[in-house]
Amino acid sequence: MRVRHTMVGALAVLTLGAPALAGCGSDGDRLVVYSGRTENLIKPLLDDFAAESGIGIDVRYDDSANLALLIDEEGDASPADVFISQSPGAVGYLDAAGRLAALSEDIVGMVPEGDAAADGGWVGVSGRVRTLVYNTDLVDAADLPPSVLDLTAPRYAGQVALAPTNGSFQDFVTVLRDQLGDDEAAAWLEGMAAGDPPTFSDNTAIVEAVSRGEVPMGLVNHYYAFRAKAEDPGLPIENHYFPDGDLGSTLLVTGASVIAGSDLDDEAEQLIEFLLGAEAQRYFSDETFEYPLVAGATVNPALPPFDEISATRVDLDELGGGLERTTEMIDESGLNR
């Protein structure tokens, strides 16, 4: 009867088909990378590295925080050799948990002080700044404030989209706390919450809503607008960079690290060195619209020179430890309700 044929067929898929579905398993000689950057934004580089070095690479992609939890749960059994984190918080979490091996001083020395962990647990390879994306049909550029702190003014009430559960926003709030103290940071959060702003789950959702005109402005990382416009150049959105080292232009770096206990730690360090090399730094600047971190690397001409907008480099060692209090403060401000 028909039913049983279907069952038999499906079971055949289970026993025979499933192993064949496995394109590549991870074996001991291949470098295993857990990447919080999505495939579109890192795979070309990893492919180049594999071709140049002859080292095979297997990559697992997910949200940075989820991968950090995975590595922590795997413990000594972790197959991962390298962790690339999109958010400073996630790599800080693993560093605090003692799950990262110290990088060599040569590698850490390639980036400015402050763009790597003080204990050498991870190193920044590229960066993006916080920014205010706005809809050019709805907002006159002359009306935009010089500082992110001005957004609590009544004229902006409810006009600025936020992503309070997102790692980048949380990192930014931690910077506010670090630079202004908890009281002023809490006052800013409550000022924003008082305007009852629309909130979203992540930067992508904010940029989409601003393009559509649902909300005039949104606090995001700078490169989303570039990517959205690469896909549809007609979108009426622009970035407003808060000038002169305003906290609103804080730099957030992508961190690369070697997992403690990796049996391929030499190869892992080779990969991180590659990510700090000229080719990769140019890739970050040209292809992903990010700020390269290594001294002497050219910044994409579409971006404002780093010195003009951002003086604030996050003290990431502070970030790792203080995030718990940050989310409590965001909760208390009422932004999530």
Partner 1 sequence: MPPSAGAIPAARVPGSAPLALRVVCGVVGLLFAAPLGYLAWRTLTGDESLASLYTSGTTLVPLRNTLVLAATTAASTAVVGTALAWLTTRTDLPLRRLWAVLAALPLVFPSFVGALALLAAVGPGGLLDGPLGWVGVSPSRPEGFAGAWLVLTLFTTPYVLLPVSARLAALPPSLEESARLLGRRPAAVFATVVWPQVRGAVGAGSLLVFLYALSDFGVVVLLRYDTLTRVIYTNRALDRDRSVALSLLLAVLALAVVAGERTLARRHPPVEGVRGRRSLQVPLGHWRWPAVALVAAWVAVALGGPLASLGLWAWRGFTGEGSSLASGSGGLGDLVEPAANTVGIGLVTAVVAVAVVLPLAYLSARHRARAGDVATGLVASGFALPGLVIALAVVFWSVQLPPGWGLYQSFVMLVFAYVVHLGVQSLRAAQVAVGSVPRRLDESARMLGAGRARRFATVDLPLMVPGLAAGGGLVLLSTMKELPITLLTAPTGFETLATRIWADAEAVFLAEAALASVVLVALSGALTWLLVVRRSDRLA
For the bound state, the minimum distance from the C-beta of residue 85 to partner 1, rounded and expressed in Å, comes to 10
316 binds partner 1 (CB under 8 A): no
Q: What angle do CA 66, 71, 76 make, to 5 degrees?
A: 165
- What's at 218, amino acid-wise? G
Give 6 or 136: the residue with its C-beta nearer to partner 1: 6
Among 32, 45, 46, 192, binds partner 1 (CB under 8 A): 32
Q: Which stretch binds partner 1 (CB under 8 A): 105-113, 144-152, 212-220, 259-267?
A: 212-220
Among 123, 125, 132, 228, binds partner 1 (CB under 8 A): 228
300 binds partner 1 (CB under 8 A): no
146 binds partner 1 (CB under 8 A): no
Q: Which stretch binds partner 1 (CB under 8 A): 105-113, 196-204, 278-286, 298-306?
A: 196-204
Nearest-CA neighbor of 119 among 135, 138, 96, 141? 96
Q: Classify 139 in phi/psi space as left (phi over 0), alpha (psi -120 to 50) or beta.
A: beta
Among 53, 104, 179, 204, binds partner 1 (CB under 8 A): 204
Among 14, 118, 153, 278, binds partner 1 (CB under 8 A): 14
- Cα–Cα dist 97/163, whole Å: 27
302 binds partner 1 (CB under 8 A): no
Among 150, 190, 287, 331, binds partner 1 (CB under 8 A): 331
Residues 51-90 that bind partner 1 (CB under 8 A): 58-63, 65-70, 73-75, 77, 79, 89-90
208 binds partner 1 (CB under 8 A): yes
Among 109, 112, 181, 213, binds partner 1 (CB under 8 A): 213
Give a three-class secondary structure readout of 113-131.
CCCECCCCCEEEEEEEEEE
Q: Classify 53 in phi/psi space as left (phi over 0), alpha (psi -120 to 50) or beta.
A: alpha
Nearest-CA neighbor of 104 among 253, 268, 309, 219? 268
What SS3 class is residue 80?
coil
Q: Tell me how far apart the terminal alpha carbons of the chain are, to the nearest angstrom.
A: 56
* Strands in the chain per DSSP E: 31-35, 57-61, 82-85, 100-101, 122-135, 160-161, 217-221, 237-240, 251-259, 291-292
Backbone angles phi, psi at 120, to 5 degrees: 75, 15
200 binds partner 1 (CB under 8 A): yes
Q: Which stretch binds partner 1 (CB under 8 A): 175-183, 268-276, 300-308, 329-337?
A: 329-337
17 binds partner 1 (CB under 8 A): yes
278 binds partner 1 (CB under 8 A): no
- Rg (C-alpha) for the chain, rounded Å, is 22
165 binds partner 1 (CB under 8 A): yes
For the bound state, the minimum distance from the C-beta of residue 109 to partner 1, rounded and expressed in Å, comes to 28
Among 233, 295, 296, 301, binds partner 1 (CB under 8 A): 233
